[in-house]
Amino acid sequence: MLDIQLLRNQPDLVAAGLARRGIAIDLAPFEVLEAERKAVQTQTQEMQAKRNALSKQIGMLKGRQAKGEDVAAEIDRLMTEVAGLGDALKANEEKLAVLLAELDAFVSRLPNLPHESVPEGRDETANLEVSRWGAPPAFDFAPKDHVDLGEGLGGLDFERAVKIAGSRFTLMKGGIARLHRALAQFMLDTHTREHGYTEVYAPYLVNPDSMFGTGQLPKFEEDLFRVERSDGTRLYLIPTAEVPVTNIVRGEILEVDQLPLKFVCHTPCFRSEAGSYGKDTRGMIRQHQFDKVELVQIVAPETSWQALEELTGHAEAILRKLGLPYRKVALCAGDMGFSAAKTYDLEVWLPAQNTYREISSCSNFEAFQARRMQTRCREKGGKPRPVHTLNGSGLAVGRTLVAVLENYQQADGSIVVPEVLRPYLGGQERLTA
RNA sequence: GGAAGCGUGGCAGAGUGGUUGAAUGCACCGGUCUUGAAAACCGGCAACGUCGCAAGGCGUUCGUGAGUUCGAAUCUCACCGCUUCCGCCA
């Protein structure tokens, strides 16, 4: 959520920021609404103050009456006076509530403003490559894609996944299922042992407040899987561990010297992929369910930009240890997600596609999520102020599996296990049919 | 699923319709004293919103939402959560 004070005081700055995202916004309706709010709120509060003062007087008189003084007439007079406020006050309060809800609905749907360092551009073609690591492997044979490799090894079975659940689901077996698990554990171990993160296990179903807090609601409900309960309430399947883990601190005031909080969490992620029909239909690149190891940081506001560089580095460390070639890309303003102030994508080399594909997305949200969650920090003696939040994939496990299969494939269709994973596979050096 | 109880400020814990945004203690901050520290003593210390150049004023908030009332932490209803006992169970 943007700071509503910023909208009031510097609407041009907000409009300019949103324009960088390709959003032409007319703030005139907001300003009309805001003027009305101001008038109604001021009036309402004056009436409330009057009511409170009169009620207080009645209370005092009742006290004197109890001691035997004859003040009944005075009490009657005040009761009549305060009764005159009744309906008008109630009408004003209701009107104010409607106005505040409208303002809130408007502001809740505005995305974050891009940081000044974010490249200009409307879509992914304007994203800026920041760096590259590793060289794509040279094959003296035609490399297969992960679908052919996995099926050849008897470890990927998309036909049966369709039978069980439908399209965009994966069934893994044997060595590939094990490799998948090894990847997740390797990532968790690296982040906890080497990067200072605390491992977290969190709910896979969350309430609407949590989805609002990180910015998935109210605007992107169609991207989520929803679970209706018999009592009429609903839960949502998490599209990323970002949601439950960031919401750990929702509604809390943290001591600034407890920060940063660094969490790592391995969960399945569930996405409806509405609107991506026909995109990446082959293989396990784009699934309704996939595993991801997520890094989340809750930091003091001054430190978030340094934290973004560090967090991105933590994700990069996994790719390097696995020996997977990748590049780091700064997303342009028009390609960033709703809540982000800046995002780096890490893209891994996929030989079969002869290109780099997203495997991690690392973002600084500044105070955008913190304002939605009402998460603040306080310095000794100071006023609470919103924290900054960050997160990044470290990494998407399914896509990492794809990258390992494709980059480590051999001419005979077997897969060499990257050295760092061998301890997790009982020393196994190669996956064969 | 059955029964009972409980949700108050960073924590503990008073408060059952009227100058209560809330006693008291702890924690925390500032000061006095002390060579220094501790102890003792004095003072301060909720959040959010809003008006205002500011000083400051006003409003809202005692799990959440609705209701009764001139007035609600206190009364009513619903919901959420927690505790204990019984039952069931991975």
Protein residue closest via CA to C1' of B71: A55
Nucleotide closest in space to A371 (CA vs C1'): B48
Query: Integer distance in angstroms from CA A36 to C1' B51?
Result: 14
Measure the CA–CA gap between A393 and A395, rounded to whole angstroms. 4
Query: Integer distance in angstroms from CA A95 to C1' B55?
Result: 32
CA angle at A378 for the pair A373 and A383, rounded to the nearest 5°: 95
For residue range A301-322, list pLDDT tens digits in order: 999 999 999 999 999 999 999 9
Order the strands of the A261-270 sheet from edge to edge. Answer: A128-133, A326-330, A342-350, A355-364, A388-396, A289-299, A261-270, A198-200
For residue range A104-126, list pLDDT tens digits in order: 889 999 999 999 999 999 999 99
Measure the CA–CA gap between A249 and A387, rounded to whole angstroms. 10
Query: Integer distance in angstroms from CA A187 to C1' B55?
Result: 56
Return the active site residues of A. Answer: 271, 286, 358, 361, 399
Residue that wins the pLDDT comparison between A54 and A257: A54
CA angle at A290 for the pair A289 and A291, rounded to the nearest 5°: 135
For residue range A338-368, list pLDDT tens digits in order: 999 999 999 999 999 999 999 999 999 999 9
Listed range (A78-92, A216-230, A327-341, A414-428) with the worst mean pLDDT: A78-92
Cβ atoms within 10 Å, residue A206: 20
Nucleotide closest in space to A59 (CA vs C1'): B18
On the question of pLDDT at A144 being above 80, the answer is yes
pLDDT bin (cut points 50, 70, 90) of residue A381 is: low
Helix ranges (DSSP H) in A109-165: 146-152, 158-164
Measure the CA–CA gap between A46 and A64, rounded to whole angstroms. 27
Order the strands of the A234-237 sheet from edge to edge. Answer: A205-206, A234-237, A226-228
Mean pLDDT, chain A, rounded, equals 92
Nucleotide closest in space to A79 (CA vs C1'): B70
Listed range (A55-69, A255-269, A326-340, A366-380) with the worst mean pLDDT: A55-69
pLDDT number for residue A409: 97
Burial A68-97 (b: 16+ CB within 10 A, else e): eeebeeeeeebeeebeeeeeebeebeebbe
Query: Integer distance in angstroms from CA A181 to C1' B58?
Result: 60
Measure the CA–CA gap between A127 and A336, rounded to whole angstroms. 10
Q: What is the largest CA-CA distance in chain A?
A: 107
Query: Integer distance in angstroms from CA A71 to C1' B15?
Result: 28
The mean pLDDT value for A48-77 works out to: 84
pTM score, whole prediction: 0.93
Nucleotide closest in space to A41 (CA vs C1'): B50
Surface-to-core class of residue A220, CB atoms within 10 Å of its CB (0-12 exposed, 13-18 middle, 19+ buried): middle
pLDDT bin (cut points 50, 70, 90) of residue A68 is: confident
Measure the CA–CA gap between A407 and A152, rounded to whole angstroms. 16
Burial A364-374 (b: 16+ CB within 10 A, else e): bbbbbbbbbbe
The set of strand B positions with any atom below 7 Å of a protein CB reads 10, 18-19, 28-29, 47-51, 57-60, 70-71, 79-80
